[in-house]
């Protein structure tokens, strides 16, 4: 137990001290993106992994959060940082509607309805030019030139998100969520208001994803509908992050975010400039292959299949 705490302390210290140990902007940027994905992956995991409602449309909440921050800056003329406070709330408002429509459906049909939802929002953001600037996108001036403030904000967000989900899952709500995943009809029969708790799970999930979106707007300074509402690079990526790490585990998505961002960046940068340049053109191909590989061989994720992975290595050794 003491060793356990010591390990967590060391991991915590490492993250706090990381920008000081590694002063490179590039690596700090990577970790910021990883932390953002920790937030999105964990929130997807709350809804899908724990509550069993697989969403193919988390880009809805990410995009709404990002656009809230962006529109604050361009249309209302106030700082995009207000979006960090309101992006999550705007996402929750959208989630209420999405839940109202999509929770009429179960299982695969729910997943597909959310997928269509994501496309609707992408098309809406593309065509509603008076509000969103359409395909031109929204460009704002970043507040800080250094990566440091963004790093600590992202770290705070990721920590808040993972810990909140940890505590939610330890509470009575957490047990309700899992019971809905295991057998919705039985849960209903036991007197659990499944519609209510599915919506609660969706709202929490949407809140954190929206906040991550607002953070993305502030950090990157530019969004357009293809970036924040992208099916593959947001919705499917969120699923992959959670599955690679381990769906229905608290720390799985955090591990998954590291692996996924690292793998993606390795190929995008063509093995950090070591491989020939055409490798970087194939990063989308690698993304697809990764989807196939993960589902076939790692369906319970690194954390979920940890024993299996350890077994393979100890047998090999």
Residues that bind other proteins (CB under 8 A): 48-49, 54, 56, 101-102, 104-105, 107-109, 111-113, 115-117, 119-120, 123-124, 126-127, 231-232, 236, 239, 243, 247-248, 281-282, 284-285, 287-292, 295-296, 299-300, 304
E strands in 211-298: 222-223
Minimum Å gap between C-beta 8 and other proteins is: 25
Which position has the token pair 């839940």?
Answer: 99
Which tokens is 225 given? Answer: 């509908």
Minimal distance, residue 36 CB to other proteins, in Å: 22
Q: What is the C-alpha separation between 225 and 229, in angstroms, rounded?
A: 5
Give the SS3 label for residue 139. strand
Nearer residue to other proteins within complex by CB, 266 or 300: 300
Shortest gap between Cβ of 299 and other proteins (angstroms)?
4
What is the C-alpha separation between 302 and 311, in angstroms, rounded? 13
Closest distance of CB 244 from other proteins, Å:
12
Q: For other proteins, which is the closer residue by CB, 49 or 87?
A: 49
Of the two residues 55 and 211, which places its CB atom closer to other proteins in the complex?
55
Q: How many CB atoms lie within 10 A of CB 176?
A: 21
Q: Which is nearer to other proteins, 159 or 286 (CB)?
A: 286
* In the complex, least distance from residue 284 CB atom to other proteins, rounded to whole angstroms: 5
- How far apart are CB 155 and other proteins at their closest, in Å? 29
Q: Which residues of 102-138 are buried (b: 16+ CB within 10 A; e: fewer)?
A: bbeeeeeebbebbbebbbebbeebeeeeeebbeeebb
Please state, in angstroms and rounded to a whole number, the distance separating the CA atoms of residues 280 and 270. 5
Q: Are 289 and 240 in contact (CB under 8 A)?
A: no
Q: In this complex, which beta carbon is closest to other proteins, that of residue 101 or of residue 163?
A: 101
Query: How many Cα atoms are found within 13 Å in the side-chain-facing hemisphere of 252?
Result: 31
Judged by beta carbon, residue 137 or residue 149, the one nearer other proteins is: 137
- Comparing CB distances to other proteins, the nearer of 105 and 148 is 105
Locate 73 and state its tokens.
Answer: 């800056």
Q: Please, are residues 53 and 113 in contact by the beta-carbon 8 Å criterion?
A: no
Least distance (Å) from other proteins to the CB of residue 75?
Answer: 20
């Amino acid at each position: 137990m003491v060793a356990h705490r010591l390990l967590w302390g060391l991991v915590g210290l490492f993250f706090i001290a990381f920008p000081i140990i590694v002063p490179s902007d590039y690596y700090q940027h990577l970790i910021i993106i990883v932390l953002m994905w920790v937030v999105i992956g964990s929130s997807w995991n709350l809804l899908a992994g724990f509550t069993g409602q697989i969403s193919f449309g988390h880009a809805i909440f990410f995009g709404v959060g990002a656009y809230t921050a962006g529109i604050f800056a361009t249309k209302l003329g106030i700082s995009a940082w207000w979006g960090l406070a309101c992006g999550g709330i705007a996402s929750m408002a959208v989630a209420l509607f999405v839940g109202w429509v999509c929770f009429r459906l179960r299982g695969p049909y729910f997943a597909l309805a959310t997928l269509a939802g994501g496309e609707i929002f992408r098309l809406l953001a593309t065509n509603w030019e008076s509000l969103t600037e359409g395909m031109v996108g929204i460009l704002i001036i970043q507040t800080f030139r250094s990566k440091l403030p963004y790093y600590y904000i992202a770290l705070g967000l990721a920590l808040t998100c993972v810990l909140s989900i940890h505590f939610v899952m330890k509470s009575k709500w957490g047990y309700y969520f899992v019971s809905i995943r295991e057998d919705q009809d039985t849960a209903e029969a036991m007197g659990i208001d499944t519609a209510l708790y599915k919506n609660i799970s969706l709202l929490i999930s949407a809140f954190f994803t929206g906040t991550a979106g607002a953070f993305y707007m502030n950090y990157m300074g530019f969004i357009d509908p293809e970036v924040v509402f992208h099916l593959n690079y947001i919705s499917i990526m969120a699923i992959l992050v959670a599955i690679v790490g381990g769906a229905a585990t608290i720390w799985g998505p955090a591990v998954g975010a590291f692996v996924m961002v690292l793998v993606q960046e390795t190929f995008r940068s063509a093995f950090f400039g070591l491989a020939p340049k055409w490798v970087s053109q194939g990063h989308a191909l690698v993304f697809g292959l990764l989807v196939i590989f993960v589902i076939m061989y790692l369906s319970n994720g690194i954390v979920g299949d940890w024993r299996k992975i350890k077994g393979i290595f100890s047998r090999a050794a």
